[in-house]
Amino acid sequence: MTSMIPPVRGFLRRQDNAGLPLQFHYNPTTVSVTKMANWNSHGQRNARRTPQQEYTGGRPATLTMKLLFDATDDFARSVPKAIDTLMDWAVPTSESIDNNVPQPPVLVLQWGAESYFPCRLKRLRIRYTIFNAAGTPVRATVDVSMVEVPDEPGPQNPTSGGISGRRSVVFDAGDSLPAVAYREYGNPNLWRALAEANGVDDPLRLRPGTSLLVPSRSDATRLSRKSDA
């Protein structure tokens, strides 16, 4: 007698493997991947057929699927918990906010041996269809739309002593480093970090129009402590 092999359930996980993956209650029936390219057509008055076209670059791929979360026959499942995970993945991570580059986490769809391209959540459409006596949803369908992300640049060499922050701001007329620190960090006392990161010896002589590197909050705290030492 041949034993039935249970189907492998897919899941979504963060690319950095932070936190727990989101295991699907049921596998999606379809996963749609769309890839588009940009083309410019050069009109030709005497062209009898398709005019010449010029490739101007690719566009990120999109991945869409419909997920079903159902706890009507399995009390160990939690529909609200699954939805909360998806909602959390649609907003910037705490780490990216601290680094002044707010971005939602990069996700990967894993289904058995198949791993799809890294992407971020673009759109969630959630429909709750069954509730228990306490009003808690026990069944929901979710239309998920995700967009491909480019390859991230490699991390900085930790021995280089470089600043990990990648944002920059322009120092305007009437500005001061404490004012910039307050706008960026909510703490004017971190102005010394801005001075240290940008090699500013005399903040009073900083000219309007100067581009200032804005370190991450963690780097700013470290640089301020270094300046106070």
Residues 167 and 133 in one domain: no
Within a domain: 114: yes
Tell me the CA end-to-end span of the chain in Å, nearest whole number.
76
pLDDT tens readout for residues 131-153: 999 999 999 999 999 999 876 44
Residues 29 and 93 in one domain: yes
Domain span at 192: 163-228
Q: What's the confidence (pLDDT) of residue 225?
A: 72
Q: What's the confidence (pLDDT) of residue 5?
A: 62
How many Å separate Cα 62 from the centre of its chain?
Answer: 14
Residues 100 and 203 in one domain: no
pLDDT tens readout for residues 104-119: 999 999 998 888 999 9
**What does the alpha-carbon distance between residue 80 and residue 102 come to, in Å, rounded to a whole number?**
25
**What does the alpha-carbon distance between residue 105 and residue 85 come to, in Å, rounded to a whole number?**
12
Query: Which class for 107: exposed (0-12), middle (13-18), buried (19 or more C-beta within 10 A)?
Result: buried
pLDDT for residue 89 is more than 90: yes
Residues 19 and 111 in one domain: yes
**What does the alpha-carbon distance between residue 109 and residue 105 come to, in Å, rounded to a whole number?**
13
Residues 30 and 141 in one domain: yes
pLDDT for residue 208 is more than 80: yes
Task: Please give the tally of structural domains in the chain.
Answer: 2
Q: What's the confidence (pLDDT) of residue 45?
A: 64
Q: What's the confidence (pLDDT) of residue 229?
A: 56
Within a domain: 49: no
E strands, 171-224, are: 211-214
Domain boundary among 98, 121, 148: 148
Going by pLDDT thresholds of 50, 70 and 90, the confidence category of residue 155 is: very low
**What's the whole-model pTM score?**
0.64
Q: 19 is written with which tokens?
A: 């936190």
Residues 140 and 214 in one domain: no
Within a domain: 122: yes
At 203, which CATH number?
A: 3.10.350.10
pLDDT for residue 224 is more than 80: no
pLDDT for residue 92 is more than 50: yes
- Contact indicator for 107, 14 with CB cutoff of 8 Å: yes
- Contact indicator for 127, 28 with CB cutoff of 8 Å: no
Residues 108 and 32 in one domain: yes
Residues 172 and 142 in one domain: no
Run of H or E residues at 223 = helix 217-228
**What does the alpha-carbon distance between residue 213 and residue 166 come to, in Å, rounded to a whole number?**
7
Q: What's the confidence (pLDDT) of residue 205?
A: 85
**What does the alpha-carbon distance between residue 193 and residue 202 come to, in Å, rounded to a whole number?**
13
Residues 118 and 173 in one domain: no
Nearest to 10 by CA among 81, 148, 104, 114: 114
